[in-house]
Structure 1
Amino acid sequence: MPSDNNHDFEPVYSRRADKKPHYKEKNHPKRRLIGWSIFAALLLLVGGGLTWGYGAYKSAKKTFKQTYDSTPIQKERNISSVIKQGKPLSILLLGTDTGALGRHDTGRTDTMIVATVNAKQKTVHLTSIARDTKVVVPKDSQPYEKINAAYTIGGAGTAVKTVQNLLDIPIDFYAIVNMGGLEKMVNAVGGVDVIPPLTFNYGHAHVVKGHKIHLNGRQALDYSRMRDNDPLGDYGRQARQKQVIKRLALKGVGISSLPRYKTILSSLNGNLKTDMTFNDMITIRAKYGDATHHIKSQNLQGQDAMIDGLSYQVVPNKELLHVSNDIRRTLNLSQSGKLKAQQSRTDSVVGYSSTAKSQSSTYNGY
């Protein structure tokens, strides 16, 4: 099966610092996000299981016990207290391709989205972080890295800490979804229907722009992975990933068959890891579930930078402060007048100002 893994996972490289980077401003097309679909899928799956009786409840509890990752992760606040009181919470959504097409390495997180959920305002705010964003990774031997390497370097804990430092916000939970499990999940719901935004042939996916097509698991995986022939590159791929996962989530919640439901849960094994316990999910579903009907999204907007022969997205300090405060506002936290030291270090190679702005959009329902 064709693969573009060489583009997704770069080899470990040595840093040749101190070379002056060349910057180029770039106005990205509006990024289409898949993170809210992952979050909605978690909530809908748990909520749907509760309505199908005790048998489904036991199956869900068993599955999510296996997806739970008990690895100690340094957090900035008491999470149990946050969700018990229904205060705004944050979830770091990570997407990786580890294990897909025979891969067994740790991989990098090419999708990274911070979701903040406000039960009182019934809103979800999503902030997408480009995978090539230049950051300082805690305890790393290099002065800077691409943010998608943080998970490779130190696992979920390092990814969480890196995002906390970058945005000056607390991360309450994380959830990592392996795109390699997409094939099993799609087959478990009987396939999905999509309307392709472009015509292409890639692996088992043969699609025509604007023509509705039913995809099985293998076709959906290839449909979601193609990037090189998409004029929008990685942005186009993310749009198609969102398209498939959205249909997956909506179709999954409509299934009433217990055997089919158990198959869906089984497809999550090995493809989902989170530090949410099953009880956390139940509480979040009860207290925050309505928030998913009103979703806003934005990007942490960077500038293209070639640093030592590698392509980065460097976020200007003004943009970083703006987005940091925007997220803090959704969490009912105080505003900052300036960046903290660990934030400003991400732009330490050279100083410059930017006219790039984060782009936002609002989704009503899903």
Structure 2
Amino acid sequence: MDQNSRREQHHNKKHKHLGLKITLAVVALLVIGVGTVFGMMWHQTRSTLNNIYDNDGGKQDTTIKKTKPFSILLLGADTGADGRISRGNSDTIMVVTVNPNTHKTLIYSVARDTMAEMVGTKSLNVQKLNAAYNIGEAKMAKASVTKLLNVPINHYAAINMGGLEKVVDAVDGVTIDTAIDVTFDGTTISKGKHHLNGKQALAYARMRYEDPRGDYGRQMRQQQVMMAVLKKLMTPSGITKYSSLMKTLEPYLRTDITLDDAVKLGTDYRSNLDNVTSKQLTEKSATINGSSYQVPSTETLQSVSDTLRTQLGLSKATLSNQNTRLNKLNAAFFNDESSTSYDTDGAVTKYYTNTTY
């Protein structure tokens, strides 16, 4: 067995329980707004929002209140399945930018293994981006993504994978059309159009190694299922699922979106559902300290930053962070397609090592 096969086998075993691979958080937020506007289950809505609300003691953001373009960091944590009870890593990471002026919504998926600085530690700590949520909760996750892309993150929503199966079942399943056969943990969805229940949707969203596109293919399936759920909820029959969905989401979702902001999402931002674009941060694989990382080039990071800032109505700005500094030291890595050697100059730390916060 070659080194790559052994590494893949190791990752398959270690990450069999890879977390929620669908951003139902955005579905939850929009449904909360729509349900509120329709006046359905007001007391249930207020109770649920109070229970899931958590801004980590920070200052309340007023961007949505002022009907301005805003961003939400969506996190899917690997908690709630296979017996995991810790906060977990955010194995799904998406930056959603919503512009009420252009009526456009842009979703950018970022790989869980993206090399990034953990912003908020007392000493320099560079490691996989999905560790930020586990180390410093939403506050560190937001700050780390902001530093990586030079884009302000106004809000976050985090949902753990334990809720995926129940949420899909709460809306009586979703219909998807898959271009490939998908098999995960004993469940197979063959190529073609299918109506999936919660268990099947979870399997469809979790498969990674068997997809020819790897994690990028998995990210597209995450977004595909998310949009299938969202579109179903926007129909008249979908609205009737509101109460059961709210009750289902409560144990699994945390967000710093207030009830007033949820109402605004359902009124002033509703047209953004008609113009949604999904993209991915493309990266190159590297082996660092014996672990597999995804490393985006400076040109790619700058392009993504420019796109997101433009979407938010902000001027473009030259990106400067630990990634750009390390990339400058590794020009040969990006010039040689076969190279996996990346020099971090001691910046990448072993997981949790020397982490003070």
TM range (shorter): 0.7 to 0.9
- 1:171-190 equivalences under 5 Å are 171-190=153-172
Q: CA offset at residue 118 of structure 1?
A: 1.1
Is 1:58 the counterpart of 2:43 in the alignment? yes
Q: CA offset at residue 309 of structure 1?
A: 1.8
Residue of structure 1 equivalent to 2:313:
332
Structure 1 residues 340 and 100: CA distance shift in structure 2, 3 A: same
| CA deviation profile, 1:60-80 (whole Å, cap 9, x unmatched) | 22212211113124x7xx721
**SS in structure 2 of the partner of residue 83 of structure 1:** coil
Alignment-mate amino acid for residue 136 of structure 1: E
Q: 1:267 aligns with which of 225, 248, 255?
A: 248
Structure 1 residues 70 and 45: CA distance shift in structure 2, 3 A: closer
Is 1:47 the counterpart of 2:25 in the alignment? no
Residue of structure 1 equivalent to 2:327:
347
Q: CA offset at residue 204 of structure 1?
A: 5.4
Residue of structure 2 equivalent to 1:290:
271
Identity rate of aligned residues, in percent?
A: 38
Counterparts of 2:321 and 2:178 in 1: how far apart (Å)?
A: 45
Alignment-mate amino acid for residue 83 of structure 2: G
Alignment-mate amino acid for residue 340 of structure 1: S
Residue of structure 2 equivalent to 1:220:
201
Indicate if the aligned counterparts of 1:140 and 1:153 stay in contact, CA closer than 8 A: no
Q: 1:250 aligns with which of 224, 231, 242?
A: 231
| CA deviation profile, 1:36-81 (whole Å, cap 9, x unmatched) | x642552134213432x3x5222222212211113124x7xx721x
Counterparts of 2:137 and 2:282 in 1: how far apart (Å)?
A: 25
Alignment-mate amino acid for residue 333 of structure 1: L
Indicate if the aligned counterparts of 1:9 and 1:107 stay in contact, CA closer than 8 A: no
Indicate if the aligned counterparts of 1:56 and 1:258 stay in contact, CA closer than 8 A: no
Alignment-mate amino acid for residue 350 of structure 1: N
**SS in structure 2 of the partner of residue 102 of structure 1:** coil
Alignment-mate amino acid for residue 164 of structure 2: L
Structure 1 residues 278 and 167: CA distance shift in structure 2, 3 A: same
**SS in structure 1 of the partner of residue 93 of structure 2:** strand
Residue of structure 1 equivalent to 2:140:
158
TM-score, normalized by length of structure 2?
A: 0.79
Indicate if the aligned counterparts of 1:200 and 1:208 stay in contact, CA closer than 8 A: yes
Q: CA offset at residue 256 of structure 1?
A: 4.8
Q: CA offset at residue 352 of structure 1?
A: 4.9
Counterparts of 1:330 and 1:182 in 2: how far apart (Å)?
A: 29
Q: CA offset at residue 292 of structure 1?
A: 2.5
| CA deviation profile, 1:178-230 (whole Å, cap 9, x unmatched) | 222011112212223333433354345232211x3333222322332233333
Residue of structure 2 equivalent to 1:26:
none
Q: How many residues align?
A: 323
Which residues of structure 1 form unaligned runs of 5+? 11-32, 357-366
Residue of structure 2 equivalent to 1:361:
none
Indicate if the aligned counterparts of 1:122 and 1:288 stay in contact, CA closer than 8 A: yes
Indicate if the aligned counterparts of 1:136 and 1:346 stay in contact, CA closer than 8 A: no
Counterparts of 2:159 and 2:199 in 1: how far apart (Å)?
A: 17
Structure 1 residues 308 and 193: CA distance shift in structure 2, 3 A: same
Counterparts of 2:227 and 2:57 in 1: how far apart (Å)?
A: 31
Counterparts of 1:275 and 1:351 in 2: how far apart (Å)?
A: 40
Q: 1:192 aligns with which of 174, 195, 198?
A: 174
Q: 2:107 aligns with which of 126, 148, 169?
A: 126
Counterparts of 1:128 and 1:349 in 2: how far apart (Å)?
A: 26
**SS in structure 2 of the partner of residue 339 of structure 1:** coil
Alignment-mate amino acid for residue 100 of structure 2: A
- 1:95-134 equivalences under 5 Å are 95-134=76-115
| CA deviation profile, 1:83-102 (whole Å, cap 9, x unmatched) | 23322111111122211232
**SS in structure 1 of the partner of residue 309 of structure 2:** helix
Counterparts of 2:285 and 2:185 in 1: how far apart (Å)?
A: 31
Q: Structure 1 stretch 279-288 or stretch 290-299: which is displaced more?
A: 290-299
Structure 1 residues 178 and 6: CA distance shift in structure 2, 3 A: same
Structure 1 runs (4+) deviating above 4 angstroms are: 255-260, 352-356
Q: Structure 1 stretch 235-244 or stretch 159-168: which is displaced more?
A: 235-244
Counterparts of 1:277 and 1:112 in 2: how far apart (Å)?
A: 21
TM-score, normalized by length of structure 1?
A: 0.78
Structure 1 residues 107 and 208: CA distance shift in structure 2, 3 A: same
Indicate if the aligned counterparts of 1:89 and 1:117 stay in contact, CA closer than 8 A: yes
